[in-house]
Structure 1
Amino acid sequence: MALKDDVARINRKLNDLGRKKMPNAAVKAINRVARRVGNKAMKAVAKDVGVPLKTVRGRMKINRARGKLPVATLRIIRSNMPAIRLLENRSSRIWVGRGGIVIGKYAMQRGFMQRLKNGRWHILQRRGRPRYPIDVTKIPIGGLITNEFKKQTRDYPAAVKAELIKELSVGKS
């Protein structure tokens, strides 16, 4: 009788311990998967555009899951990136000709580099006739970011499940 009581008491304690650890393990697993998804997507976008990873990673902010609510939020700036950011990559060379500028794999017709009144350098482009205004040349990356995040989050539930199993198994040993 005493042995059965001891076994039942040990089982109850183990179950209580599992219930206490489960919310924390879920939060840790979701945060880890969210960070991994964000990093992989940003790395692919940086490689696609031809800029350093640091340049596009600054456009991502992770609001981690906390407490009992296991929800992690990735906030991404999807707006177009100024073309001057291409020059942050050491391997990118600028070629200035009579018809425009070429930086990496991007060519800007009627483009030129100029220092603005605020002291920043930008690559500007004249859109139409010479009397029309000039615009800062930008590279569209919103679609790239969206596609990469869709690709990375395709197997999100399976990744969270695997990470949760890993977290709970590490916690028991």
Structure 2
Amino acid sequence: MSVKGLERAIQNLNSLSRLIVPEATAKALNRMASRTISQGSKAVAKEATVDDNRKKGLPVRLVRQRSRLRKARHDRPVASIKINRGNLPAIKLGTARVRLSRKKGARNGAGSVLKIGPYTFRNAFIQQLANGRWQVMRRVGQARYPIDVVKVPLETPLTVAFTAISKRLIESDMPKELSAALKNQLRIHLKR
């Protein structure tokens, strides 16, 4: 008794490339890494607080552009995400406009409000630094103390969000992604 199509199945199995599994693994890893970047950026952008504002959140593109993906390949099955965890300068939030205070006794712009997009910064001003960049500055304390660049803190939110989301996605979605990628590679390589 002969099995119908046995010769074709043996021929297909012999013709399989040894790169099918590594390529499927690389594709699954790349999909998981890009999903981690997308979900992590959305979470951080939603939860970030800007200065002493009542407005919460940042544009997602500002957070997403701080992460870079080095894709996995069949000969290097590691996808790495490099994240710029430095604080975000306030000047990057949009176009700036100043609302001056006309109060009596307000000198040197004290009491003025600087608006950058939907965000407000009290007692802040824009200045060109020695390196040629324009930044939003604010006096740290009394008039005799130095001034400092106004920044949005992102180090802790980025670290927490990306580690939590990557662990969750690896546990929940990685088996499904691997099986789908392997089926797709088999579909591509098998003769019909």
Using the TM superposition, give the Cα deviation of residue 101 of structure 1 relative to its aligned residue in structure 2, in angstroms.
3.6
Aligned pairs, how many? 169
Q: TM-score, normalised by structure 1?
A: 0.78
- Separation of aligned partners in 2, 1:102 and 1:143: 26
Choose from 56, 78, 82 the match for 1:75: 82
Could you report, residue by residue, the CA deviation over 1:25-44 in whole angstroms, capped at 9, with x for unpaired residues? 00111011101111221122
The answer for unaligned runs of 5 or more in structure 2 is: 49-56, 102-109, 188-192
Q: Whose RCO is larger (CA < 8 A, sep 6+)?
A: 2
Kept in 1, the 8 Å contact 2:20–2:186? The answer is no
Deviation at 1:108, TM superposition (A): 4.3
Partner of 1:44: 43
TM-score (norm 2): 0.71
1:14-163 matched pairs, under 5 angstroms:
14=13, 17=16, 19-49=18-48, 50-87=57-94, 97=101, 98-99=110-111, 101=113, 103=115, 108-153=121-166, 154-163=168-177
- Higher percent of residues as helix: 1
Does residue 167 of the first structure (1) align with residue 181 of the second (2)? yes
Unaligned runs of 5+ in 1: none
**Cα drift, residue 163 of structure 1:** 0.9
Tell me if the contact between 2:114 and 2:125 (Cα under 8 Å) persists in the aligned partners: no
Post-superposition CA distance 1:59-116 (Å, at most 9, x none):
111111123331110000101111112226xxx9765654354657865453222233
Distance 2:18 2:135 in 1: 56
Identity of aligned residues (%): 38
- Quick one: structure 1 residues 94 and 58, their matched pair in 2 at CA, closer, same or farther if it must change by over 3 Å? farther
Q: Equivalents in 2 of 1:46, 1:141: separation in Å?
A: 9
Cα drift, residue 52 of structure 1: 2.7
Give the partner amino acid of 1:21: I
Secondary structure of the structure 2 residue equivalent to 1:51: coil
Closer, same or farther in 2 for the Cα pair 1:15/1:26, shift >3 Å?
farther
Q: CA RMSD in A?
A: 3.1
Change (3 A) 1:151 1:165: same
* SS of the residue 1:155 aligns to: helix
Moved over 6 A (4+): none
Tell whether the 8 Å contact from 2:30 to 2:71 is kept in structure 1 after alignment: yes
In the aligned structure 1, how far is the partner of 2:172 from the partner of 2:129?
50
